[in-house]
Structure 1
Amino acid sequence: MTDIQSILDKEQYSVEDITTLLQLEGDNQKLLFKKSEETQLKYVGNKVFYRGLVEFSNVCAKNCYYCGIRKDNNNVERYNIEDKDIIEAAIFAWKNRYASMVIQGGERSDEHFINRIDHLIQQIKKETNGDLGITLSLGEQTLETYQKWYNSGAHRYLLRIESSNQNLYEQIHPKDQLHDYNQRIEALKSLRKAGYQVGTGVMVGLPGQTFEDLANDLLFMKEIDIDMCGMGPYIEHKDTPLFERRGELWPIKKRFSTTLNMIAMLRIIMKDINIAAATALQAIDPMGREKALKIGANVIMPNITPTFNRKNYQLYENKPCTDEGAEDCGNCLSMRIELANREIGLGEWGDSKHYFKRKNK
């Protein structure tokens, strides 16, 4: 019988070690969570940082097989929030001391889109006296575009790899120039060159995915030396090609439990990065985000998208909080943070400690 504590006590973990730990349940899982919480409190502390999330558009040029806002999904009502409403949401975040926001939307790389984002960043910085931190999650762009946005005031960027296994990546994306695995890797490198705090992440429980794949995902994140991570359970959407493979999926509770194990392991392996408690966890378990905060996550994203648009930003089914206003969402999350015995880091950007350590090497 494997001695789980002896594995947890190691300084370095092999793929086999991580594969074993990712499958833990019951009392053995509690041992994993105990170590990850101890690591969290020692290296990043008790604070949880807000990122006010604006999902400003569901217009997308891509056709990823898992995503509900993919270009060829004709069953979604497309929207594009006006600049003034995005800036108003940013001011709300600033006045409520969230200190940071995330601008997220469907992926585009046309000139109009690039210039619009650049203008928005500059306007948000102007309207908030430069106080509001800005994270972008807008997909693959050129180094020139990344640099342009960085120079205008964005300083964190989330670009999820979805799976570091190239074969699996190619099963969940069309095989064309717009969905190329190596291009994704290059985009992550370009973000580093541009100066961003770089984030990535994966989906947990994809059709055909193994625990060994997930172990390698964690080692991939360590190898490319990320500063932050956002990952969550794969939740199928009926209007996507990948929905046809739903018969291959792990039970939803297994996807949820494994995601928590992934967060815990990543915290142990990369002690001082920022890890987000994904909204998708709450789609499975009403206390999903609290559970993530207890075992390693230290970032949470209250949705400040105007309520009438939220229902149309459905990357997956049963997304929570689509009918709440920005104030409702913030109040709810503050209670969740307290339930997790954590402190809200209001008025602080909550930048990745790992980023500054890496920069100062």
Structure 2
Amino acid sequence: MTDLKNLIIRLKNDHILEKKDFIRLLEGLPGDSESAELLGEEARRTARNRFGRKIYIRGLIEFTNYCRNDCYYCGIRCGNRHADRYRLSPAEILDCCRAGYDLGFRTFVLQGGEDMTYNDDMMAALIADIRQSYPDCAITLSVGERRRETYQKWFDAGANRYLLRHETANPRHYQKLHPPSLSSEHRKHCLRELKAIGYQTGTGFMVGSPYQTTENLAEDLQFIHDLQPEMIGIGPFIPHADTPFRDFPAGTVEQTLYLIRILRLMQPDALIPSTTALGTIHPQGREMGILSGANVVMPNLSPVRVREKYLLYDHKICTGEEAAECRDCLNHRLEAIGYHIVTDRGDFIPTKKGEENHV
């Protein structure tokens, strides 16, 4: 058995590698098709053992593209004077939830920039309204770095999950992607606070971001292992024309799929989306992500009139589809590769050794 295949089997059994071994694996896979295929087979088998052929859907509501931060890679950064800004009202957000519920969605993801117009109390009231109207649904927030008191208030109001990508675990690399006002340590601190409060917590990183090294990716994998998040979201870096990184190349499908496979073996029970970004850089990107071990897709419930305004990167897909069209299209595409969308919440439930997880 080759060295890379031994690393894959060890990763499957131990769920972690040393940093130097992650580097060897990531650098060796592109030139070793047999090992890359073995990694894919093991990741796919692991996901099917835990979840069968079920794919969970989350209804994404992109409710504001205002942001106080100026991250160098992001299309809705505050420094982008060309962005067409918008905010959805609480009533409009509730309308999105209502439409999504009727379509079978049982998780709503409220995503936006760090827009302080939605203050602690306003968000808490909105969360409480969603919780009262849809008690059987999970409420996920993705609105960036806030104080622990804020996170606690929203948790108490009824939020269940929180998504906060760490973007890169290496502080020096982090500073190359963000303005001096932001720090890697503070973002990691927020993630630990979220877990301590009781949120099902998601993190992740961009694949192929500017200045990223294989060593950075190995550090990301080790950070995720240490954090033990319930959700892991990764996707390829895609440049936006109105950012300082407009001329940098996009991340690749190949490397993104390798990392999804590695993450599935690292955390067999994790909720891992096959992202819109992956579908943007390849016509079958989301299907390829599912076949690499991902088990979540996130159709867009936002009003069509604002979809093209929430552009973190260029050429984003599905900006002109109604929610029902988006869901039906994804369902047909997944059925074509042998999977099917399920309408339950798909909560994270760790599997006992020797058992399968079919939540």
Q: Tell me what 1:9 maps to.
A: 9
8 A contact 1:64–1:173 mirrored in 2: yes
Alignment of 1:87 onto 2:90: no
C-alpha separation in 2, matches of 1:16 and 1:343:
38
C-alpha separation in 2, matches of 1:343 and 1:331:
11
Q: Tell me what 1:303 maps to.
A: 300
Q: 1:99-141, CA deviations, whole angstroms, 9 ceiling, x for partnerless residues?
A: 111000011346x52222211111112222x122111101001
Q: Tell me what 2:357 maps to.
A: none
| Alpha-carbon offset, residue 5 of structure 1 | 2.0
8 A contact 2:124–2:153 mirrored in 1: yes
C-alpha separation in 1, matches of 2:49 and 2:22:
22
8 A contact 2:171–2:183 mirrored in 1: no
| 1:1-361 matched pairs, under 5 angstroms | 2-10=2-10, 11-12=13-14, 13-23=17-27, 24-25=29-30, 26-109=33-116, 112-128=118-134, 130-176=135-181, 179-243=182-246, 246=248, 249=249, 252=250, 255-346=252-343, 348-354=344-350
8 A contact 2:58–2:297 mirrored in 1: yes
In the alignment of these two chains, the number of paired residues is: 346
| Amino acid across the alignment from 2:144 | G
| Alpha-carbon offset, residue 338 of structure 1 | 1.2
4+ residue runs over 6 A deviation = none
Q: What are the ranges of 5 or more consecutive residues in structure 1 without an aligned counterpart?
A: none
C-alpha separation in 2, matches of 1:141 and 1:185:
12
C-alpha separation in 1, matches of 2:279 and 2:63:
21
Bigger Cα displacement from structure 2, 330-339 vs 311-320: 330-339
| Alpha-carbon offset, residue 180 of structure 1 | 1.9
| Alpha-carbon offset, residue 355 of structure 1 | 9.7
C-alpha separation in 2, matches of 1:17 and 1:343:
35
| Alpha-carbon offset, residue 2 of structure 1 | 4.6
Q: 1:321-340, CA deviations, whole angstroms, 9 ceiling, x for partnerless residues?
A: 01111111111111122123
C-alpha separation in 1, matches of 2:303 and 2:186:
33
Q: 1:189-225, CA deviations, whole angstroms, 9 ceiling, x for partnerless residues?
A: 1101211001000000012111221122111101011
What TM-score does the superposition give when structure 2 sets the normalisation length? 0.92
Q: 1:283-335, CA deviations, whole angstroms, 9 ceiling, x for partnerless residues?
A: 11111011111111111101010000000000001100011111111111111
Q: 1:39-68, CA deviations, whole angstroms, 9 ceiling, x for partnerless residues?
A: 111233321111000000101111000000
Partner secondary structure for residue 200 of structure 1? strand
8 A contact 1:293–1:340 mirrored in 2: no
C-alpha separation in 2, matches of 1:324 and 1:306:
9
8 A contact 2:46–2:264 mirrored in 1: yes
8 A contact 1:60–1:107 mirrored in 2: yes
Partner secondary structure for residue 150 of structure 2? helix
8 A contact 1:290–1:339 mirrored in 2: no
| Alpha-carbon offset, residue 275 of structure 1 | 0.6
Percent sequence identity is 39
C-alpha separation in 1, matches of 2:22 and 2:314:
30
C-alpha separation in 2, matches of 1:63 and 1:31:
41
C-alpha separation in 2, matches of 1:70 and 1:309:
17
Aligned CA distance change for structure 1 residues 356 and 136 (closer, same or farther; 3 Å): farther
Cα RMSD between the aligned structures? 1.8
Partner secondary structure for residue 354 of structure 1? coil
